[in-house]
């Protein structure tokens, strides 16, 4: 069981045209909300997409890297086609960062 005081930032970097990600997000709002709810149920605390120079970032906060991995694997049949439709290129790069409590956090 995860320590409730701990959290982990998951950053997924996906190569592709940001406009493709925006288009797929606009056209599939209901599907994305359903996936998001299953993520919350699996331990996701926050979730957001960011777009930039030839790539999109998915930035999540999770209760554990293991819960993210289980969720991501179980949702592959739902997430994969959306990423493909968005024009994602290659495999995503996924990294985890443990939250550090510091006096200057806000």
pTM of the shown model: 0.89
Number of independent structural domains in the chain: 1
* 2 part of a folded domain: no
| Residue 11 exposed, middle or buried by CB count within 10 Å (0-12, 13-18, 19+) | middle
* 7 part of a folded domain: no
* 12 part of a folded domain: no
Range of the domain at 68: 23-54+63-98
Cα of 21 vs its chain's centroid, Å: 13
* 74 part of a folded domain: yes
Q: pLDDT tens for residues 67-94?
A: 999 999 999 999 999 999 999 999 999 9
> Which pLDDT score, from 0 to 100, does residue 2 have?
55
* 17 part of a folded domain: no
Q: pLDDT tens for residues 15-49?
A: 999 999 999 999 999 999 999 999 999 999 999 99
């Amino acid at each position: 069981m995860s320590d409730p005081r701990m959290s982990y930032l998951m950053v997924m970097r996906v190569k592709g045209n940001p406009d493709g990600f925006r288009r797929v997000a606009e056209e599939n709002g209901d599907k994305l909300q359903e996936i998001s709810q299953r993520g919350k149920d699996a331990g996701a605390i926050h979730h957001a997409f960011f777009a930039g120079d030839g790539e999109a970032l998915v930035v999540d906060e999770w209760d554990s890297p293991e819960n993210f991995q289980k969720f991501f694997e179980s949702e592959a049949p739902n997430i994969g086609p959306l990423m493909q439709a968005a024009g994602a290129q290659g495999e995503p790069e996924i990294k985890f960062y443990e939250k550090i409590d510091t006096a200057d956090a806000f």
